[in-house]
Amino acid sequence: MALLQEAQRGRDLRCYGSPCHRPEREKKPEIHGDNRFSIPRCIEVMSAMAELSPVEKSLAPDVFLDASNREIFLSLSVDIRPMWLRRKMKSLV
């Protein structure tokens, strides 16, 4: 009976009797995780960059799909960001 109740609660029965974490594939991904380096934060900063054309601004979010790119982008100085972003966008094409 206890096993049935555990199964109905969505628990992994392979770990019955001990704390168990769901396998990685069952975990929901964090949408924003650390907000300092989130996609919306990168887009907000990028949108304020007058140096970029509308076409560049439409391509740039693809660069931000990678978490390390987001962290690098937001860590760079303001004068380096446009050059770095343009270089990354060229590698996408």
Top-confidence residue, 71 or 93: 71
Q: Count the domains in the chain.
A: 1
Determine how many CB atoms are found less than 10 A away from the CB of residue 42: 20
With bands split at pLDDT 50, 70 and 90, how would you rate the model's confidence at 78?
very high
Say what the pLDDT of residue 63 is.
98
Name, in order, each residue with C-beta under 8 angstroms of 51's C-beta and a sequence gap of 6 or more: 82
Domain extent at residue 16: 2-92
Say what the pLDDT of residue 28 is.
43
- Chain length of the chain: 93
Name, in order, each residue with C-beta under 8 angstroms of 13's C-beta and a sequence gap of 6 or more: 3, 6, 7
d(CA 4, CA 40): 43
pLDDT digits (tens, 9 = 90+) for 8-56: 666 555 555 555 554 444 444 445 556 899 999 999 999 999 999 999 9
Residue 89 has pLDDT above 80, yes or no: yes
- Residue 33: both structure tokens together: 């995780």
